[in-house]
Amino acid sequence: MKKIIIDTDPGIDDGMAIQLALHSPELDILGLTTIFGNASVNITTDNAMRLLEIADRTNIPVCKGTDKPLKRPFAGGVPQVHGEDGKGNIEHPESKLKPDPRSAHEFMAEQIKSHPGRVTILAIGPLTNLALLLQEYPGIEELVEEIVIMGGNAFCPGNATPAAEANILSDPEAADIVLGANWKVHMIGLDVTHKVLMTSEQLDRIANTESPLNQYVSTTFHFYRDFFKKVDQIDGIYVHDSTAVVYVLKRALFETKDFPVKVETTNSISLGKTWPSMGESDHEDGNELLPWKNRPKVTISVDVDANTVLQLI
Ligand code: BDR
Ligand code: CA
């Protein structure tokens, strides 16, 4: 079984991704760590605990992460996409669970040290907890198996702005640290997630199963579906975060390219854009000015067998 920590900001599609991970016998979920993003970290933490409670998997710890980006204030979430409550404005009681006393990055460090080379971190929210992990535990990157992130847009437009994807834009400085660190990063960005559209008919099939978790997650779909209908004129939802779970499970469904990636961190209209280099020549010594110099290659997903991904979900 693959040991995995899911760093998440539930979030409607995060809830679906956690649902898929909990139903995947290939995964040994060591814990959920939470982050601000789709809503405040207090809300996303409660939502994460609620999912585990409903799934009857309360043996999995939930560790609360940081409440703001490294260098910027928290922007206030995206109530227009995920609702004020991060779950589509449904009436639902708060969780009875308490978060684990360890902070998100403390928990990650502890688990990574206990299982050197065997822990995958799946990050499906802003990357601040991971940047804190790197800053506070120097050398920890060498002990991690791999980092899989849902975030960024290498060769396509953004979704939060014309330039940037939401998770990266939420903390561009943290994203630049994580994508530039010396560990193996896989980027599942809009290049592929905008090809994975779950139709209303497929959503109804999830709603019509008997599992309590499926029933609960299905109540959150409607708000998200209405958002995409209004803004993108599509009938269905992009399952961004679940696509990254599928990458962990079935990598052969994805086509990838390896490039170093820099994140735009200046306050321009391109803030949060993930820029891949244009190839090997960017690494040539002697050109000190190139922004990608000495950065490791990130494995970027550029295409996906979307139908098979949707069937698997
Ligand atoms: C990402 O942003 C969030 O709104 C979603 O949960 C997903 O992680 C998509 O850009
Ligand atoms: Ca998310």
Angle formed at CA 42 by CA 230 and CA 76, multiple of 5 degrees: 45
Residues in the chain: 313
As for ligand 1, residues whose beta carbon falls within 6 Å of it are: 11, 13-14, 38, 78, 81, 124-125, 150, 159, 165-167, 240-241
Q: What is the DSSP letter of 94?
A: P
Has 226 been annotated as catalytic? no
Mean pLDDT of 3-25: 97
Question: What atom of ligand 1 comes closest to residue 238's alpha carbon?
Answer: 9
Distance CA 199, CA 140 (A): 41
Choose the catalytic residue: 46, 171, 240, 241: 240
Task: Note the pLDDT of residue 91.
Answer: 81
ipTM score of the complex?
A: 0.99
Ligand nearest the Cα atom of residue 157: 1
Task: Note the pLDDT of residue 183.
Answer: 98
Q: Is the pLDDT of residue 206 over 70?
A: yes
Mean pLDDT of 136-163: 98
Contact 197, 237 (CB under 8 A): yes
Nearest-CA neighbor of 77 among 129, 38, 32? 38
Angle formed at CA 310 by CA 210 and CA 188, multiple of 5 degrees: 120
Query: Which residue type is seen at 115?
Result: H
Contact 43, 85 (CB under 8 A): yes
Has 92 been annotated as catalytic? no
Distance CA 214, CA 206 (A): 6
Cα(197) to ligand 1 centroid in Å equals 14
Task: Note the pLDDT of residue 1.
Answer: 96
Task: Note the pLDDT of residue 284.
Answer: 53
Query: Which residue type is seen at 264?
Result: E
Nearest-CA neighbor of 186 among 69, 40, 297? 297
Contact 54, 216 (CB under 8 A): yes
Residue ranges of E strands in 203-281: 236-238, 254-259, 261-263, 274-276
Task: Note the pLDDT of residue 57.
Answer: 97
pTM of the model: 0.96
Cα(213) to ligand 1 centroid in Å equals 20
Mean pLDDT of 118-128: 98
Query: Which residue type is seen at 89?
Result: N
Distance CA 194, CA 176 (A): 22
Ligand nearest the Cα atom of residue 194: 1
Cα(309) to ligand 1 centroid in Å equals 18
Distance CA 62, CA 6 (A): 10
Choose the catalytic residue: 7, 9, 171, 191: 9
Cα(87) to ligand 2 centroid in Å equals 12
